[in-house]
Structure 1
Amino acid sequence: MTPSDAKGTLVQKVFAQRLYDGLSDQPRRDQVIEIDAGRIRAIRPARGDEAAICPGAEIVAPGFIDLQINGARDTQFNFDPTPEALARIADGARQGGTAHVLPTFITAPGQDYLQALAAGQAAIEARSPGILGVHLEGPFLSPERPGIHPPSAIRPLTEADIAALSAPFPGVLLLTLAPECQPESALARLAQAGVIVAVGHSAASAQQIRAAEACGLRGATHLFNAMSQLTGREPGVVGAVLASPGLFAGIIADGLHVDWANIALAARLMGGRLCLVTDAMLTLAGDSRSFDLYGQQIFREGDRLANAEGRLAGAHVAMDTSVRNLVEAVGLPLPQALRMASTHPARALGLGGELGVIAPGYRASLSLLDAGLSARAVLVDGACFEGNRPWSGA
């Protein structure tokens, strides 16, 4: 995406009281980030009155990247698989400090996911700000671990699916599936085609995960949720992911999906492989209090989304809140929390050479936060947005 295609206000400089670059644990103070053609040209100490006249914030970090966001601004990808819907979801995500998203389309009947791929391709080709690609979560899951996904639509991959998913796609394609339920060689063929395959909604054994990893499995979706757990004699998906030297994982830090102690454990064991995700639904930055999800009524009570039986149905949490939770509830250092929201997901997607770090040559995608870790503004390739609005001034 070039800056002229963005809908925010183009800026040439951003001021940071504290700049966390995604690499060092120590912030640089009172810095100016110079931007040219949507990329970072230089980083230098501020001069004169630049702090007053440039867009800026107490904290500037690499732009947050959400690998798993189902909806926002009263828009759910599954209900409206169009590029216009993806633009609204990205707008809603920006209100929580997220610069880039992988809009997530969950299990749906048949090959409905093809509509999601078409919408994602159209959004990318239209250079819609912040859209990196598409995350398909299902329908190729385990019937034993459906979560909130409609069980009637869960099924294994077919040859037609493999062909459709292996077709050229202009952005990132992340596919969550249960590897133990798929035909032999399916994972290797998808990986060879460039699909990033993650395990989720799976009852696989650790041995099955190790075999899948050898065939190209790259990561895990919402670690600890909807997957076989770590036990004394069987490590399950959780144990296999924690022990792997290479698998990345997303994790939801809303205080509802995963105990804070488990997040701390995963962060300690996985280091740069652990990525913060929201798993947000249409209620994020919206007004909806309930909605129908393939015949199940989902209710929002506070920040909890669940069906009538109390089963969690995605999340109602923004990325800035999640970062704050990592610091305040989990006890992680701020630099580590910021990397989990930016640097780690960029690397998980193979984009570590252009996103997730603030350095010359990188894309000018930044998250601007106040001292309380609430989002103030977002830059997407040099275009500055305040919430879902163009930047209105420092």
Structure 2
Amino acid sequence: MANSENQLSVYADVLYDGVSMAGKSQTLICVSEGRIASVLEDVPASEVPSDALHIPIVMPGFIDLQINGAGDVQFNFDLSLSGLETMVAASARGGATHIFPTFTTAPGSDYRQALDIATEAVAQAMPGVAGLHLEGPFISPRRPGIHRPEFIRPLSQADVDVLREAAAALKIVLTIAPEEQEPELLEQLSNSGIILFAGHSEATFEDMRRARQVGVTGVTHLFNAMSQITPREPGVVGAVIGGGDFFAGIIADGYHVHPQNLDLAVKALPDHLCLVSDAMQTMNGASQEMMLYGTRITLAQGRLTGADGTIGGAHLTMAEAVANVSSLAGAALGTAAKFASANPARAVGLQDTHGQVTPDFNASMTFLSGELECVGVMRDGVPEMFGMSA
């Protein structure tokens, strides 16, 4: 196949395609017009086009459902197209081809500004912006984490009306504490296509059962800022681990979740676990600290914390999350690829176009070295290489 502006090929020493857990050796992936045209296994190197990209490990493009900042940009404080472009570029260097920039708990209805800029980015088809994640302010004051308690509040009908209107043009993940909301309002949101995740929540098992009935389909950063398993009350964690029908974002940085709990989630949720970065502006940036609504957050030894030790987001890339879930929890690389791509795609309704290296799917891939470091990405058929020649 001769490469042209709209046609190229990728030769993977090993491909993890997001479907099979086993790697496919010496695989030639042909791309045309931004889509995957064919995937051919066991192709001898002598038959590979001379201008093909030669990559040690190829996985489907990583989809980051929760990213607060990157490249010295914190989304809450830089609601601009240029800020989003910086976040996309910095997250790509960490392996993410598509992101849901995340706006966290803020005063009043400030989240509306995030809706506006994300809608504009999607309308302009900004590469890499797949939607928006709103994490708060509709969470539990009993589980604020680093979020400012005075900004936390329940949903109102006015909020629902704004969110439903935005959802007509924008894919939205909304983190809420279901026990703090009127079920009818959650049902309205779900019926409009908004993806509801429980997080920063003190919900009981019964609360989570009812939440599932009105459209809550996932949880945000499993194990963190949520009710835990106790002998007579499973809480949010038990509802997820024991139920198996909630998607679950998880932060595999070695700080947020103990390796044994990470291993538990890997085994319990093979089709529903989603690696997320939860990254702050320090990820692939130069800053070592930041202010979050008056709270100073400092980076030390790869961990972001406030002065009282509360974890304040993560300093993590998606490629690092993939490597960590393998090294810390023993996940096979095919499984780790699924956690970073196919499962997130299913969680947000992109499973028919993203999350697999399969013919007719969007040509979005993450390129890794043998040491699982990101050496490039392809997004919508356009490759970008980092520190490695083809």
**Normalised-by-shorter TM-score class:** over 0.9
Tell me the number of residue pairs that the alignment of Structure 1 and Structure 2 aligns: 383
Structure 2 counterpart of 1:83, one-letter code:
L
Alpha carbons of structure 1 residues 170 and 15: separation in structure 2 relative to 1, 3 Å: farther
1:224 is aligned to 2:223: yes
Q: Distance in 2 between matches of 1:307 and 1:161?
A: 30
Unaligned runs of 5+ in 2: none
Q: Distance in 2 between matches of 1:25 and 1:212?
A: 32
Equivalent position of 2:269 in the other structure: 270
Q: Report if the CA contact (8 A) 1:15-1:46 is conserved.
A: no
SS at match of 2:248: strand
1:166 is aligned to 2:164: yes
Deviation at 1:128, TM superposition (A): 1.3
Q: Distance in 2 between matches of 1:308 and 1:176?
A: 25
Alignment of 1:333-348 (within 5 A): 333-348=332-347
Q: Distance in 2 between matches of 1:201 and 1:293?
A: 17
Q: Report if the CA contact (8 A) 2:183-2:211 is conserved.
A: no
Alignment of 1:57-206 (within 5 A): 57-167=55-165, 168-206=167-205
Deviation per residue, 1:174-226 (Å, 9 max, x gap): 00000111123111110001000000000010100000101100100000000
Q: Distance in 1 between matches of 2:299 and 2:60?
A: 31
Q: Report if the CA contact (8 A) 1:32-1:46 is conserved.
A: no
Cα RMSD between the aligned structures? 1.5
Q: Distance in 1 between matches of 2:50 and 2:80?
A: 40
Deviation at 1:392, TM superposition (A): 7.9
1:364 is aligned to 2:360: no
Q: Distance in 1 between matches of 2:47 and 2:295?
A: 56
Alpha carbons of structure 1 residues 16 and 125: separation in structure 2 relative to 1, 3 Å: same
Equivalent position of 1:213 in the other structure: 212
Q: TM-score, normalised by structure 2?
A: 0.95
Deviation at 1:80, TM superposition (A): 0.7
Q: TM-score, normalised by structure 1?
A: 0.94
Match of 2:15 among 14, 19, 22: 19
Q: Distance in 2 between matches of 1:250 and 1:318?
A: 14
Q: Distance in 1 between matches of 2:232 and 2:140?
A: 22
Deviation at 1:11, TM superposition (A): 5.5
Equivalent position of 2:287 in the other structure: 288
Deviation at 1:271, TM superposition (A): 1.3
Deviation at 1:170, TM superposition (A): 2.6
Q: Distance in 2 between matches of 1:351 and 1:171?
A: 13
Deviation per residue, 1:27-55 (Å, 9 max, x gap): 22112111111100111235636375312
Q: Distance in 1 between matches of 2:191 and 2:353?
A: 22
Deviation per residue, 1:343-389 (Å, 9 max, x gap): 110111111111011111000000010111110100001011124xx
Unaligned runs of 5+ in 1: 1-8
Structure 2 counterpart of 1:176, one-letter code:
T
Deviation per residue, 1:60-83 (Å, 9 max, x gap): 010011100000000000001122
Q: Report if the CA contact (8 A) 1:206-1:234 is conserved.
A: yes
Q: Report if the CA contact (8 A) 2:205-2:235 is conserved.
A: yes
Alignment of 1:315-330 (within 5 A): 315-330=314-329
Equivalent position of 1:377 in the other structure: 376
Structure 2 counterpart of 1:39, one-letter code:
R
Structure 1 counterpart of 2:357, one-letter code:
I
Q: Distance in 2 between matches of 1:171 and 1:362?
A: 21
Structure 2 counterpart of 1:181, one-letter code:
E
Q: Report if the CA contact (8 A) 2:183-2:214 is conserved.
A: no
Q: Distance in 1 between matches of 2:97 and 2:48?
A: 24
Q: Distance in 2 between matches of 1:14 and 1:172?
A: 30
Equivalent position of 1:299 in the other structure: 298
